[in-house]
Amino acid sequence: MSGPGEGTGGEDDIEAGTEAERKMRFLFALRSHGVTDRRVLEAMEAIDRGAFVKGLFAGRAYDDVPLPIACGQTISQPSVVGLMTQALNPGPRDKVLEVGTGSGYQAAVLSQLARRVYTVDRHRRLVREADALFRALGLTNIVTRVADGSFGLAEQAPFDRILVTAAAEDPPGPLLAQLREGGIMVVPVGQSDHVQHLIKVVRTPAGYDYEELRAVRFVPLLEGLAED
Ligand code: SAH
């Protein structure tokens, strides 16, 4: 119901929050969850999450929650995207592999920070839609592939950084092998219906160092290509 003085465009805007306010709230939520790296915050300010969330849930694109996307998958929570990106710490000369394109949002954030981003998903439809979005947004340093990412992307290896956005029971061997010495991989590890932990792996001259970052919840890393 609209009473006296209500219902003007201006006041509706204030109630719904202007774009600037929405952006401020979005960045505030990131900071309050520990995303403090200036470059990561700038990248997440530059990439509009609203472009990656379609349909029913579009109105919640700026909330710090995971949301459903096509093929029964999810776009990760922004603060988790921020923390993973921060832990990965990609540099401007880095070649990055992302396993699990999903909506494409995480790859788009990485594209602001790295030289080139290769992103793979087992669902053709997700790769097709993300690829179209990257073109529309002019994100020309992202290369998409339909592939089972547990085997990495041998043709482009080694990678300076590898980010896995689906949970594996262990960090997949081929991904460890495709990580350059001095490189960093961030991967959620654990069974899909249990608590998973975000692990940071650093490849050293002697082998691999593992650090447990925090508890997370991701969809599982599945074998083979999907039907769609
Ligand atoms: N990074 C995404 C969210 C990923 S959800 C985003 O920003 O929106 C996890 C994705 O991993 C899903 O799209 C799922 O299809 C994909 N996935 C699961 N197992 C995979 C595998 N073996 N190879 C490639 N992609 C896989």
Q: Is the pLDDT of residue 128 over 70?
A: yes
- Whether 94 lines ligand 1, by a CB cut-off of 6 Å, is no
What residues are labeled active site? 76
Residue 176 located in a structural domain: yes
Residue 223 located in a structural domain: no
Q: What is the DSSP letter of 43?
A: H
Of 53, 123, 192, which is best to mutate to test ligand 1, by the most ligand atoms within 8 angstroms of its C-beta?
A: 123
- For residue 138, give the CATH number of its domain: 3.40.50.150
Query: Residue 28 is which amino acid?
Result: F
Rounded to whole angstroms, the Cα distance separating 139 from 129 reads: 14
Query: Whole domain around residue 156: which residue ranges?
Result: 6-216
Residue 134 located in a structural domain: yes
- Whether 202 lines ligand 1, by a CB cut-off of 6 Å, is no
Rg over alpha carbons for the chain, rounded to the nearest Å, is: 18
Residue 33 located in a structural domain: yes
Tell me the per-residue pLDDT of 173-209, one tens digit each, with 9 for 90 and over.
Answer: 999 999 999 999 999 999 877 889 999 999 999 999 9
Residue 44 located in a structural domain: yes
Residue 138 located in a structural domain: yes
DSSP 24-93: HHHHHHHHHTT---HHHHHHHHHS-GGGG--GGGGGGTTSSS-EE-GGG-EEPPHHHHHHHHHHH---TT
Of 124, 169, 222, 223, which is best to mutate to test ligand 1, by the most ligand atoms within 8 angstroms of its C-beta?
A: 222
Residue 227 located in a structural domain: no
Tell me the per-residue pLDDT of 140-181, one tens digit each, with 9 for 90 and over.
Answer: 999 999 999 999 999 999 999 999 999 999 999 999 999 999
- Whether 152 lines ligand 1, by a CB cut-off of 6 Å, is no
- Whether 176 lines ligand 1, by a CB cut-off of 6 Å, is no
Tell me the per-residue pLDDT of 51-86, one tens digit each, with 9 for 90 and over.
Answer: 999 989 999 999 999 999 999 999 999 999 999 999
The pTM is what?
A: 0.93
Supply 55's token pair: 């349909």
Nearest ligand 1 atom, CA 222: 19
pLDDT of residue 88: 98
Residue 171 located in a structural domain: yes
Rounded to whole angstroms, the Cα distance separating 53 from 68 reads: 8
Q: Is the pLDDT of residue 28 over 80?
A: yes
| Domains of the chain: total | 1
